[in-house]
């Protein structure tokens, strides 16, 4: 059953990423969001589309020039004018701010919701309900985030600390946000969970375009002015000229630091708690939890032949058609691609950058 | 300095093997002896040739039909008539017995020495000295084996138990053989080493052709008669006909069981102890000890690119040109070939057959 659309709600999907944490499957030129990492037959970008398109009046994708063709190919339903191509990466505030400013130009003061292109949500119906509440809270003037139920004391995510109920109609579960916290150490993460007030910050923000741009005008005036200039020129003949002039000068900053944290300190942020079955697929260990395990405890991504003995918990990615055989390596991670092979363990997955940093450019 | 040749000594090299223990580098169709496993630039077969050719009046290679072309290609110096092709594998007694019978037909009662095509000897000068003594003892009528100094209580090899000095001129270090012992368990192997009387049985046998064939006539009469019939016809017009008739009926038996053990029980076997730097390259762990370790403790076989972090003791075989990257897997074994990839550890190397047994035929 498809969820009802939410009138006046526009989804924005920033589609970027360095591609290092799931190397060698993801690459700089072919990052995570372009991959089907769950064996569902849909890439993460397509999965994001599938979640958002039924809910929104429109979906806008913001991506780099290098990925525009791949995005168009994967999302044939995406309207031509709804793909915003960035000349270079200027971090999430520029990407989302540009989309918000342009949506306001085109549609007026709509509610904008920003959702990463490379996350997994296993409970789309819970996601739809949370977005619906978030839009209601956003209409009341809040910057709203969706706070993901933390099922373990992860040190890989930032946290949102909640306060009192928000008391906005249409958003019965929404709470005030007391603060945002950076990725904690293990002890702090455990303490967070103990309070019951902390949820994972999944980087989902829902806000009225006017509200976002007003915060931006106040907190980051040069960035605000640059984005507005670009948005006003976007659908006219001067886009290229204005982009060339303004884009390189845009402040590089994440939306968390630019808006969410300072506005939270002033009481302007709300959180809708949700159990989404969410995962940012941040590394090979994280991906492992998303793949079904065979009877021998081995998880395989891809159609290639694989054969394992005594290797429970292993993650095999046979992506070349060659046989991948693993013997006596519980928790092994074996990723077989045409030009590079990675062999590590789920325990070492977070250290992959050490390897990628040593790679020749052609293999990154 | 090349060693002096030993007059009347003919080397025999049985070149066979299933190719399973170093899979996927070795295959049924491309077994271990055809590979350069030490990075020396010479295959094991070529290394065997290099050790034997300077010592012998001639080198005879016995191999299966499937490998004849590869052997000729690797050994261009091998005389055409010195390559004996077996219609099918009938174990080592048939292979060595055929060579001995044919050498007697061609050259009379020469001394025949049999040496596997797929072992490594790191001290060829010690090998030459041991063969020289073994030939002297063989001339005196003994079946002579070269007993490899056991530097650890291996459970992967059979052992030769020595007795009193042989007292044969030209073989000052040779000893009587009391018995042959099968691969022992760990406790037994340690006890063997404690006595100082046990050496590894490396399957090297040196014996006069007449002596070997007389033992065979007595101990395995049908096999003896079949081999003699084949040898007599070999250089004439009836080879194919006689082979077709006799070969399929030859008894399948190893030379150890057919001759060495029963003759030892009668006091007819001698051993020349030797420190050869010998290795049968029986599995990936064994191969690891033959490769030089880089500063990070990683051993690499092949020219392909490899990159390792926190993986001391790993053995990497990049045989496709693809990058092989290993992170956090000490003792890993990663063998990258065009149609199959093996990931295991040196600790599991001896269990490789479990994997190979599950392979489709095309990948064996």
Is A288 in the same domain as A141? no
CB contact under 8 A, B355 and A329: no
Q: Which of B247, B279, B311 is the last residue of a domain?
A: B279
CB contact under 8 A, B327 and A352: yes
Interface probe for B, chosen from A308, A314, A340, A343 (most Cβ of B below 10 Å), is A343
Is B111 in the same domain as B131? yes
Q: How many domains does chain A have?
A: 2
DSSP one-letter code for B27: B
Is A254 in the same domain as A319? no
Task: Give the distance from residue B230's alpha carbon to the nearest chain A alpha carbon, in angstroms.
Answer: 43
Is A260 in the same domain as A303? no
**pLDDT given at position A230:** 98
User: In DSSP terms, which residues pair with B343 in a beta bridge?
Assistant: A326, B334
Q: Residue B344: which of A326, A344, A348 has the nearest Cβ? A: A326
CB contact under 8 A, B348 and A325: no
Burial code of A332-347, b = ≥16 C-beta within 10 A, e = fewer? bbbbbbeebbbbbbbe
Q: Which of B279, B311, B339 is the last residue of a domain?
A: B279
Kindly report, residue by residue over A170-195, the tens digit of the pLDDT. Answer: 999 999 999 999 999 999 999 999 99
Query: How distant, in Å, are the alpha carbons of B68, B121, B133 from that of B290?
Result: 27, 10, 27
DSSP state letters, B37-71: -SSSSS-HHHHHHHHHTTTSSEEEEEEEGGGHHHH
Is A271 in the same domain as A295? no
DSSP one-letter code for B256: I
Whether the predicted pLDDT of A1 surpasses 60 = no
CA B170, distance to chain mean position in Å, is 25
The pLDDT-based confidence of A2 (bands split at 50, 70, 90) is low
**pLDDT given at position B17:** 79
Q: Which residue of A has its CA nearest to B326?
A: A343
Mean pLDDT along residues A322-350: 95
**pLDDT given at position A303:** 81
Q: Which of A247, A262, A279 is the last residue of a domain?
A: A279
DSSP one-letter code for B120: E
Alpha helices by DSSP H, listed for B75-204, are 91-107, 124-139, 186-195
Mean pLDDT along residues A146-158: 94
Mean pLDDT of chain A: 95
Kindly report, residue by residue over A216-248, the tens digit of the pLDDT. Answer: 999 999 999 999 999 999 999 999 999 999 999
**pLDDT given at position B2:** 66
The pLDDT-based confidence of A147 (bands split at 50, 70, 90) is very high
The pLDDT-based confidence of A266 (bands split at 50, 70, 90) is very high
Kindly report, residue by residue over B264-305, the tens digit of the pLDDT. Answer: 999 999 999 999 999 999 899 999 989 999 999 999 998 889
Q: Does residue A228 lie within any of the structural domains?
A: yes
Q: Are A310 and A297 in contact (CB under 8 A)?
A: no
Is A117 in the same domain as A257? yes
Domain that includes residue B308, residue range: 284-363
CB contact under 8 A, B343 and A355: no
CB contact under 8 A, A354 and B309: yes
Interfacial residues of B (vs A; Cβ cutoff 8 Å)? 24, 307, 309-310, 322-329, 332, 334, 336-345, 347-348, 351-352, 354-355, 358-359, 363
Is A68 in the same domain as A147? yes
Query: How distant, in Å, are the alpha carbons of B219, B220, B235 from that of B225?
Result: 12, 9, 17
Q: Are B99 and B60 in contact (CB under 8 A)?
A: yes
Tokens standing for B308? 């390792």
Query: Which of A301-305, A353-357, B92-96, B323-327 has the least mean pLDDT?
Result: A301-305
**pLDDT given at position B231:** 98
CB contact under 8 A, A348 and B327: yes
Q: Residue A322: which of B340, B344, B355 has the nearest Cβ? A: B340
**Can you tell me the ipTM of this complex?**
0.79
Q: Which residue of A has its CA nearest to B325?
A: A342
CB contact under 8 A, B329 and A343: yes
In chain B, which stretches have pLDDT less than 50?
none
Whether the predicted pLDDT of A316 surpasses 80 = yes
Find chain B residues with C-beta within 8 A of A24's C-beta: 323, 325
Q: Find the length of chain A.
A: 364
What CATH number does the domain containing B162 carry?
Answer: 3.90.550.10
The pLDDT-based confidence of A309 (bands split at 50, 70, 90) is very high
Whether the predicted pLDDT of A9 surpasses 60 = yes
Is B128 in the same domain as B237? yes
Is B200 in the same domain as B217? yes
Q: Does residue A4 lie within any of the structural domains?
A: no
Task: Give the distance from residue B121's alpha carbon to the nearest chain A alpha carbon, in angstroms.
Answer: 29
Report which secondary-structure segment, H or E, holds B338: none
């Amino acid at each position: 059953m498809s969820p009802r659309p939410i009138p006046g709600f526009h989804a924005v999907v920033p589609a970027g990423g360095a591609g290092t944490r799931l190397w060698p499957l993801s690459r700089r030129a072919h990052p995570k969001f372009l991959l089907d990492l769950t064996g569902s037959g849909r890439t993460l970008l397509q999965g994001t589309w599938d979640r958002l398109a039924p809910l929104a009046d429109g979906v806008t994708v913001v991506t780099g020039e290098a990925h525009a063709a791949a995005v168009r190919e994967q999302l044939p339903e995406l309207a031509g004018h709804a793909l915003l191509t960035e000349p270079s990466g200027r971090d999430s505030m520029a990407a989302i701010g540009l989309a918000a400013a342009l949506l306001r130009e085109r549609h007026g003061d709509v509610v904008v919701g920003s959702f990463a292109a490379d996350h997994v949500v296993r409970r789309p119906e819970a996601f739809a309900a949370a977005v619906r509440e978030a839009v209601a809270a956003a209409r009341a003037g809040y910057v709203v985030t969706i706070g993901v139920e933390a099922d373990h004391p992860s040190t890989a995510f930032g946290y949102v600390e909640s306060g009192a109920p928000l008391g906005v109609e249409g958003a019965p579960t929404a709470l005030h946000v007391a603060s945002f916290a950076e990725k904690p150490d293990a002890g702090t993460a455990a303490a967070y969970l103990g309070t019951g007030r902390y949820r994972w910050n999944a980087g989902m923000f829902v806000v009225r375009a006017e509200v976002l741009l007003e915060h931006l005008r106040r907190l980051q005036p040069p960035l605000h002015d640059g984005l507005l200039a670009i948005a006003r020129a976007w659908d006219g003949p001067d886009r290229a000229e204005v982009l060339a002039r303004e884009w390189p000068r845009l402040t590089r900053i994440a939306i968390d630091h630019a808006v969410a944290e300072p506005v939270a300190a002033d009481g302007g942020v709300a959180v809708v708690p949700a159990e989404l079955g969410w995962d940012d697929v941040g590394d090979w260990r994280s991906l492992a939890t998303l793949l079904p395990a065979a009877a021998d405890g081995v998880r395989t991504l891809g159609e290639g032949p694989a054969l394992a003995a005594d290797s429970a918990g292993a993650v095999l990615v046979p992506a070349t058609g060659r046989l991948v055989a693993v013997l006596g390596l519980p928790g092994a991670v074996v990723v077989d691609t045409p030009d590079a092979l990675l062999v590590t363990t789920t325990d070492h997955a977070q250290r992959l950058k050490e390897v990628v940093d040593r790679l020749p450019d052609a293999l990154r």
